[in-house]
Structure 1
Amino acid sequence: MLIDLSGRTALVTGSTQGIGAAIAAGLAAAGARVAVNGRSVASVEKAVGRLGPAAGAFLAAPGDITTDEGARSVFEAVPQVDILVNNLGVFGAAPALEIDDAEWRRYFDTNVLTAVRMIRHYLPGMKERSWGRIQNIASDSAVVIPAEMIHYGMSKTALLAVTRGFAKEAAGTGVTVNSVIAGPTHTGGVEEFVRELVGGDLPWDEAQREFMRVHRPQSLLQRLIEPEEIAHMVVYLASPFASATTGGALRVDGGYVDSILP
């Protein structure tokens, strides 16, 4: 399948590293012009420099989109997009009864409200042009709430609802809105998370296996997913080939969620 996104502009939030950077690289390799977003100018410039060798073009769109001021900076840098990927998110383990109100709000603001803010800004233009792709990067935790981070699971469940609702708002316009349910993925942040749970003394391969065995035994893949594997799904959904897929929650979870449908 040859996916050609030439002439399309994409914005990937939280794309200076990890899954977001892999998605940015994948979209650029398909020919899109990709805006890279992060909180600071320095982190975005560094990421653009690192991503530069890939095909396509990159532009910097720094701004902390958890704030109105930061979001305005991004909107000024990228006034119009054809493809919006809401990837920004935070996660971490915490005992359920020790999560205070401020932390619950932080997870909702970062993992849910930023996506709403971006969609609210860019969806009207997509509808006017009768073409657009919006994707929200969710998680298996939206469906299988982890006992060690229920605040994170809550936020990703809410993101599925946001996706379905905005897909209805875009009905019949040529704009699709979908969620991608990512399973346990190998990123720097996840490596730190794994070591928090299984200890920092084990070699990485052993630590990963122990994490999957004890904390994610439902995985049929039985390994962490690589960020590029998430990006492959995102690139497909951004393409004309996915024109009839909207309002969905598509799984790249290594078979972690034990159901036929999410």
Structure 2
Amino acid sequence: MPNWCSTDFRFHGNKEQIETLHSKITEWTSSSTMKTDFGDPWLGNILIGAGFKDRIDNGDPSKNVRCRGTVTEIGEITSSNNGDYCFDVYTETAWVPMGKMWELVIKVLNLTSVGFSFMAEESGCDIYWKYDPHNYGDFLYEEVYIDAYGDDDIEDIGGYSTKEEAIAILNEFFKSTFNKLEDFYPLCEEYENDHEDCFIGLHEFEIDNCYRSLYLSSRSERILSFRESFCRGADTLFCQDDHSICQGRMLLRKQQR
């Protein structure tokens, strides 16, 4: 059973091509092309609709396309501040966001004006990623996620914010005067120890290169080798073997402790 990654994909482009993509995704998730546990919203239905049936989990790392998950919601088309049009597609996928399939679908439909950004979360592997290579300016507000539960006081501080706002919220809660997010880690741990059934987790979103954390430690050569053995022939961002990335990240965190 995988950990499930929640991702908000935001597609941008001219009105005609955005309407085409919106219509196709809606059509392809309205019926099933084969029997699966995921039903109509299975991501594989989109790939099959776009003509990629032979590339779904076929065992060839250079051609394999991951699609283990579902579309949970398709947003309405709206105009954006960039002068283009956009809409959101929300997905639940195994381990990581599955972006490569969307690149393939956009390419095969010849939607030359269309690109996308995303924001993804999977707490089990500490995945908090944002991707905006076209500089649409999406998800600017969501820099930090304060994961807090327990008593009412704690739950009031939970949610998304900029880093500056998160620091201000935490300083007010802890009656402190810190100016770095990492300074709060000992306070969060101490609070949890003193308050049973309470938890405060601080998660800073990584920007653009989702796998950059693998390069942060001089002790990560073994992990990089492990990752590269799976990623050879695949683009860096949308690695074919998503579980290997999750395992590598968890191993790196253990080494860094």
Select the structure of larger CA radius of gyration: 2
Q: Select the structure that is richer in strand.
A: 2
TM normalised by structure 2 equals 0.30
TM normalised by structure 1 equals 0.29
